[in-house]
Amino acid sequence: MGDLAGVVGKLPYLAGLGVDGLWLNPFYASPGHDHGYDVADHCAVDPAYGSLEGFDELVATAHGHGIRVILDVVPNHASIAHPWFAAALAAGPGSPQRGRFHFADGQGPDGNEPPNNWRSIFGGPAWTRISEPDGTPGQWYLHTFAAEQPDWNWTHADVPALFERVLSFWLDRGVDGFRVDVAQGLHKLAGLPDHPDAWADEATGDPVNPNAWNQPAVHQVWRSWRRLVEDYTARDGRDRLLIGEVGLTDPAAVADYTRPGELHHTFCFPFAHATFDADTYRHVITTALAHHPDGVAWVANNHDLPRAVTRHTPTPRDRDGDGDGDGEELPAGADPAQIGLARARAAAALMLALPGAVYLYQGEELGLPDVADLPVTVLKDPMYHRSGGTRPGRDGCRVPLPWTTSPDHHHGFSPPATTTPAWLPQPPTWADLAADTQHHTTTSTLNLYRQALALRRTIPDLATTTLTLHTDTPPGLLALSRGTHLTTYTNTTHHPIPTPHPHPGQPILTTHPTPHPTDTIPPNTTVWYHHDTPADAASTADDAVTEAI
């Protein structure tokens, strides 16, 4: 399954990769119905992952490498194995213990219809009926996600108090911040009225229920959490970070979560969802910078999304290349999988050239694709199971990454003594993507990420907040400058494009695996150029749409 000791063992790899922080998905005591996002004890390490002592060692060792540690905190919902949920079941209707969750009587003569029409994001109703302590059919409880994840009632004073204790517990152990799960959740509209378009939640998996999401009161929570982490900073001078997963589609509503005194960052999901297209990226970048002038947190991959390599792979119906409008026309003989990889590399180099923070997901630095053909018998994701298999779920992006070319011990993922299968099986083709092979291959995706991250640290222009997006570029070419000495081009077409400026500067990074003329951007490629004087900058600087953000 992976464990904390395994993370400690790979900290030198992460330091060599060049990251300066590590966000850990939940490792707390949990029955694991949603990959640990169903937390039974927020202050305990699940024995499958290690111990508190092991966690302390992880923090100390990470800090020794200059890597900060951010934990995942899950405040929208608990686990049915949380002791407060057991207490709620035992205490009966109307009790303060039930008040910590959303329990309600059912509708209909026998109360056997859910209290409202809300749907679970993973599929099915958002309510499950319990048996009362005397065995009779009883009340229902709300769960926005799986039935094993009852939603907390944030208007009950015990709930905010619990989470303040949880944050303090981990801050006292030295963590550097928190990634906040479902940060648009927590509070619900009083009375839990029906959602006029309830099926949309289930059909898309997008959190769109206006009665369950983005209630004004949630911002009070973020203000109180910000005060709490600032108190720690005031004591020892060390920064602490709060970054929210805000799954709202309106960029202005997302921006409300990073108002002064609230969260520091929210993930920029539009970047991850962008198709590989220059105009789309230009729009996404401009919008994100406009709404988050203090810093965007870019992201192209995470544990909930199909991996970028797969997302950017042209779909089978595009492969005929017949230009009949049903998709993308590919060059003759093109391999869609190679196009997906080339685009993922180019998108990563674009992202790593942007101002702000960048969040990488394990294995993206190896160019891993999703594993689309996992046997149904190994699928774990409640999204797959609750949707009756109509939504594939997220297991495909969670397969353990291959450390070694040798298949032994699940490509080095498991300790040598392991005899059981890995929790999700790796495909045989991953031998070619193993970290040890990529380490020795100059043009590998691993070395591309290392190189980009190293340049991000060393080139002063990349440390500024200045970004210039150029507009008079040929179709399919995205050009941007950072500061005065760095210009990057991303070619999102299938044909080479000459750089608009005949002397673009010194190429310092290219995502193309083979040598190419310095004044030409190959298809599906990003190239970074360093130029010595501002005069050398791309000729389009006057047309900047975004300056000095």
Contact positions vs ligand GLC (CB under 6 A): 34, 37, 74, 145, 181-182, 245, 303-304
Say if CB 44 and CB 52 are below 8 A apart: yes
β-strands 103-104, 127-131 pairing = unpaired
In whole angstroms, how close is the CB of 150 to ligand GLC at the nearest point? 12
Q: Which candidate, 502, 468, 472, 474, places its Cα nearest to that of 488?
A: 468
Q: Give the Cα separation of 310 and 315 in Å (integer).
A: 9
CB atoms under 10 Å from CB of 307, counted, come to 25
| Tokens found for residue 102 | 């959303």
Side by side, the strands of the sheet bearing 477-482 are 467-469, 477-482, 486-491, 525-530, 506-510
Which lies closer to ligand GLC via its Cβ, residue 146 or residue 353? 146
Which lies closer to ligand GLC via its Cβ, residue 32 or residue 355? 32
Dihedral sign of CA atoms 444, 303, 477, 335 in order? positive
Which lies closer to ligand GLC via its Cβ, residue 238 or residue 303? 303
**Distance, first Cα to last Cα, the chain:** 43
In whole angstroms, how close is the CB of 228 to ligand GLC at the nearest point? 22
Q: Give the Cα separation of 307 and 401 in Å (integer).
A: 13
- The owner of tokens 């991000």 is 456
Which lies closer to ligand GLC via its Cβ, residue 33 or residue 312? 33
- What's the Cα-to-Cα distance from 531 to each of 507, 518, 535, 536, 538, rounded to whole Å? 9, 13, 9, 6, 9
In whole angstroms, how close is the CB of 221 to ligand GLC at the nearest point? 16
Which lies closer to ligand GLC via its Cβ, residue 36 or residue 500? 36
In whole angstroms, how close is the CB of 113 to ligand GLC at the nearest point? 25
Which lies closer to ligand GLC via its Cβ, residue 74 or residue 241? 74
In whole angstroms, how close is the CB of 318 to ligand GLC at the nearest point? 29
| Tokens found for residue 90 | 């035992």
In whole angstroms, how close is the CB of 148 to ligand GLC at the nearest point? 11
Task: Give 447: exposed, middle or buried? Use CB within 10 Å, 0-12, 13-18, 19+.
Answer: middle
Which lies closer to ligand GLC via its Cβ, residue 145 or residue 298? 145
Q: Give the Cα separation of 439 and 441 in Å (integer).
A: 6
Which lies closer to ligand GLC via its Cβ, residue 394 or residue 411? 394
In whole angstroms, how close is the CB of 189 to ligand GLC at the nearest point? 20
Say if CB 487 and CB 531 are below 8 A apart: yes
**Nearest-CB residue for ligand GLC:** 37
Q: Which residues pair with 113 in a beta bridge?
A: 107
In whole angstroms, how close is the CB of 311 to ligand GLC at the nearest point? 17
Which lies closer to ligand GLC via its Cβ, residue 393 or residue 505? 393
In whole angstroms, how close is the CB of 110 to ligand GLC at the nearest point? 31
Q: Which candidate, 345, 408, 331, 341, places its Cα nearest to that of 370?
A: 341
Which lies closer to ligand GLC via its Cβ, residue 24 or residue 480? 24
What region does 355 belong to: left with phi over 0, alpha with psi -120 to 50, or beta? beta
| Tokens found for residue 7 | 């993370």
In whole angstroms, how close is the CB of 167 to ligand GLC at the nearest point? 17
- The owner of tokens 């229902």 is 140
What region does 513 belong to: left with phi over 0, alpha with psi -120 to 50, or beta? alpha
